[in-house]
A and B are shown apart, each in its own frame.
Chain A
Amino acid sequence: MGIRVNIDVLMAQRRIPAGELATRVGITPANLSILKNNKAKAIRFSTLEALCRELDCQPGDLLEFDTGKSPPKIL
């Protein structure tokens, strides 16, 4: 359960490679990878704004509330 970032879906739909999107948004490819892999703890409004601008979408298209069970934590 949590917030899922659907950036990979939108990137595939817009046919934008990760490196190009990272450059256009002004973040590092490593940080884009963190977003893609849902490892991010938070997203700045400025980043969200840039992503929406470059992917031509709304914040709701990027972020989704996932009601599914979270994977068990490895202790």
Chain B
Amino acid sequence: MWNQDKSVVLSSICTRVVIAIALVLAVVLPFVAQGGFFDNRSLIPTQLVALVLPVYYAFCVPALVALFSLDRLLAAIKRGAVFTPANVRLLRVISWACFAAAVILAVSTVVSIVFGFIALLAVFFGMILRVVKNLFAAAVELKTENDFTI
């Protein structure tokens, strides 16, 4: 039977898979850029990969910060500690990581205009997360008051 605990576990697994993919790509992409993985018949042009590589590494930093924070947040939810100041801080970190990624992607529009659209998405996610963070902060305050009402 599907329940909330299993849903949290699934989210946690997905987060870790994405972290693993990001790390594997960080290792593999330089070889792809050098043409070590694919021959001339490859569908992926190695020059394009070489161009995108610095953008990917710059983007990886806030992305991994956000992903590891998300993993910690999910671990806290699994423990049952949902409305805590630590989780508010994690949401704040994820939100700022989204904004940092947006800045990196906005700068990367010199490489390709596509990054501009992704930057807009990152700003949008960052804003949503800020609102969620504000909601969590208000919930933490309410919970504290409730817990200390005798």
Contact = CB atoms under 8 A, between A and B. Distances in A.
B4 interface: no
Interface residues of A, number: 12
B116 to A, nearest CB: 39
Interface of A: 27, 31-32, 34-35, 39-44, 47
A61 B146 CA distance: 24
- Interface SS of chain B: helix, strand, loop or mixed? mixed
Nearest to A41: B148
Contact of B148 (A32, A34, A47): A34
A43 B150 CA distance: 5
B3 interface: no
A66 to B, nearest CB: 17
Contacts of A27: 150
B149 A39 contact: no
B112 interface: no
Given A42-B150, A44-B149, 19 more contacts: A27-B150, A32-B150, A34-B148, A34-B150, A35-B150, A39-B148, A40-B148, A40-B149, A40-B150, A41-B144, A41-B145, A41-B148, A41-B149, A42-B145, A42-B148, A42-B149, A43-B149, A43-B150, A47-B150
